[in-house]
Structure 1
Amino acid sequence: MSAAGWAAVAAQVVLVVGGTPLLTGLMRQVRAVLEGRAGAGITQPWRDARKLLRKEPITAEGSGPAFRVAPLLLVTTAVVIAALVPLASTATPLSGSADLLVVVGLLALGTVSLALAGLDTGTAFGGMGASREMTVAALVEPTILLSVLALSVSTGSTNLARIVAGRIHDPAGVASPSSLLAVVALAVVVLAEAGRLPVDNPATHLELTMVHEAMVLEYAGPDLALVELGAQMRLTVLLGIVASLAAPWGTATGTGLLAVGLGLVLFAVKVAVLGGALAAAEVFWAKVRLFRVPELLAGSFLLALLAVAASYFLSGE
């Protein structure tokens, strides 16, 4: 049981680390096709990472430990989240540690480390990007907490594995008003947390619109490869959490080889569908002005708050 459980955890991590560049390539290819371009293919992120890893690492002059540690810390927190959350199975040895507060704390740790790295360079762009990133994070984290809290009312626990397992055995609860409100609110904040349109544009290099890119302008070589991998992994695990909460069916409730294998396949399919849908939607979306972002995130917070109220109302508590 223990060996099988650890094998399931390892399989989740390997799938996230190995499949994240392919998800990024798929999203770019979907956008290219919809925009009438040929595209570079879904394996292009792997080729980009290989090219960056061969380059000489460069450290910005005057930067300190925060700049050097941030890429590794960003990837490490994403790997730990991938091991904790119930992406393929809810019965792994780490399921008991997959608490909502732990996951949100790890996300915040990665965000803060990258913001400190942007400040550590002493450049105007780094400071501007760090300020914007922390502003968005301050609005995003409470919404994530409230969204998952609304889904946890029926199970009486903030453990993500227990929430997903409870939703698997309660199909009617998945389509309840509180559940739909919470999933919509969570989807909006995922866009902000992952730096996607309409909150941020990952392809921009304009100083007036940069958020994530402004903090990583001084990175090059292997450090830049780690930063890009960490950001892509955060998007993958966030989409995986949304998929597990919105459509939990297929996620294994044990550690059987067949069940976990099926859970991994369905997890990959769900994330690929969500990623493709997000990429298709971004073709028709425009980035909102920075001063309008708090309004968008405040709307998602209100949806999450309504979801919590509806959950307690429908549960009769």
Structure 2
Amino acid sequence: MTGHTAAGAAAMCAQVVAVVAGAPLLTGLMRQVRARMEGRAGAGVRQPWRDLRKLLRKEPITPTGTGPAFRVAPALLVATTAVVAALMPLASTATLATGRSDLILVVALLALGTVALALAGLDTGTAFGGMGASREMTVAALVEPAILLAVFALSLPAGSTDLAAIVSGGLRDADRLASPSGLLATAALALAVLAETGRLPVDNPTTHLELTMVHEAMVLEYAGPDLALVELGAQMRLAVLLGLLATLAAPWGIATTAAPLAVALAIALLAVKVAVLGAALAAAEVCWAKVRLFRVPELLAGSLLLALLAVTASYFLTGA
């Protein structure tokens, strides 16, 4: 392995470690911000890590009658999200995955984790599992195209669907990010991220009302280490998608080399940007109410429409 390849591999591993270690802290920060705004003390930023440690010590329980889909889904959810974190240029555009981080591949991996969890919900044979899986796939059918089109709009000026090339193009020409197509794409991606991660107003991650649950309804039968993996996977997806939004909308600070010092500084800046986005989202959720389920497709259709307008605007601006 050459020095350049080794540095690229180290940068890619650093991104994955940062996501795995920082995702629970991001969730804890968001819970703490929300608690403070609601007049509560909160459990602390490190509480999600303590919850995961507690779950890992418990005995795993598998419901009677479930098959491989139920048992494999938690590990598959974490694995696909870790691969996405490795492929994305979150900290550097010169990782070992540069040239392989195609937009379609990244969205497909995210969809694979979603489908695995939905199949696990169906595999339990419970009413709530099937209901949650049905709702999750309805949301995913609208969210995945919106993410594809939003990032595709940003890829047209770069002439490539490789995420590293898109980010590098944004670094060279920052004006395109403030163009109509860039702003529309960012707005569409932000709405899609809310739905993909199960945040308000699409879903309430803290709800215990069975008839309004989406994500939670699919994982009611999990316990112990399996539930820990499901929770970690959901937290990682939130961190990765907020990182994608921060990287595409504000790519400044991302390293263009795989030098250790540059990558370390870029990861620190990425943590700050993601923490700001997470805190802003948590603060906004205090003022938002969950929309009724039959209104969710209307909201996601708006995100898809914004993405289509972004693609159209980007096409005409690029052609001009």
TM-score bin, normalised by smaller chain: over 0.9
Q: How does 1:79-98 map to 2 (within 5 A)?
A: 79-98=82-101
Of 302, 306, 313, which residue of structure 1 is paired with 2:305?
A: 302
Deviation readout 1:252-301 (Å, 9 max, x if unpaired): 11111221111111111110000000000000000000000000000011
Q: SS at the partner of 1:55?
A: coil
Pairs aligned (count)? 317
Cα distance in structure 2, aligned partners of 1:44 and 1:93: 34
Cα distance in structure 2, aligned partners of 1:158 and 1:201: 33
Q: How does 1:177-196 map to 2 (within 5 A)?
A: 177-196=180-199
Matched, 1:47 2:43: no
1:140 alignment partner in structure 2: 143
Q: How does 1:107-126 map to 2 (within 5 A)?
A: 107-126=110-129
Q: CA RMSD in A?
A: 0.6
Gaps of 5+ in 2: none
Deviation (angstroms), 1:155: 0.8
Q: How does 1:5-154 map to 2 (within 5 A)?
A: 5-154=8-157
Cα distance in structure 2, aligned partners of 1:238 and 1:305: 20
Residue type of the alignment partner of 2:116: S
Cα distance in structure 1, aligned partners of 2:6 and 2:127: 50
Cα distance in structure 1, aligned partners of 2:260 and 2:127: 52
Residue type of the alignment partner of 2:113: G
Cα distance in structure 1, aligned partners of 2:62 and 2:259: 47
Residue type of the alignment partner of 2:281: L
Residue type of the alignment partner of 1:174: L
Cα distance in structure 2, aligned partners of 1:231 and 1:289: 23
TM-score, normalized by length of structure 2?
Answer: 0.98
Bigger CA drift: 252-261 or 284-293? 252-261
Cα distance in structure 1, aligned partners of 2:317 and 2:100: 28
Cα distance in structure 2, aligned partners of 1:258 and 1:121: 48
Deviation (angstroms), 1:316: 2.1
Deviation (angstroms), 1:208: 1.5
1:271 alignment partner in structure 2: 274
Cα distance in structure 2, aligned partners of 1:127 and 1:257: 47
Q: SS at the partner of 2:307?
A: helix
1:293 alignment partner in structure 2: 296
Deviation readout 1:49-73 (Å, 9 max, x if unpaired): 0110000000011101000000000
Q: Which runs of 4+ in 1 moved over 6 A?
A: none
1:235 alignment partner in structure 2: 238
Q: SS at the partner of 1:239?
A: helix
Cα distance in structure 1, aligned partners of 2:318 and 2:216: 44
Of 250, 255, 258, which residue of structure 2 is paired with 1:252?
A: 255
Deviation (angstroms), 1:156: 0.6
Residue type of the alignment partner of 2:268: V
Of 236, 259, 264, which residue of structure 2 is paired with 1:261?
A: 264
Cα distance in structure 1, aligned partners of 2:209 and 2:64: 23
Matched, 1:200 2:203: yes
Cα distance in structure 2, aligned partners of 1:75 and 1:257: 26
Deviation (angstroms), 1:126: 0.1
1:172 alignment partner in structure 2: 175
Q: Percent identity?
A: 77
Q: SS at the partner of 2:158?
A: coil
1:162 alignment partner in structure 2: 165
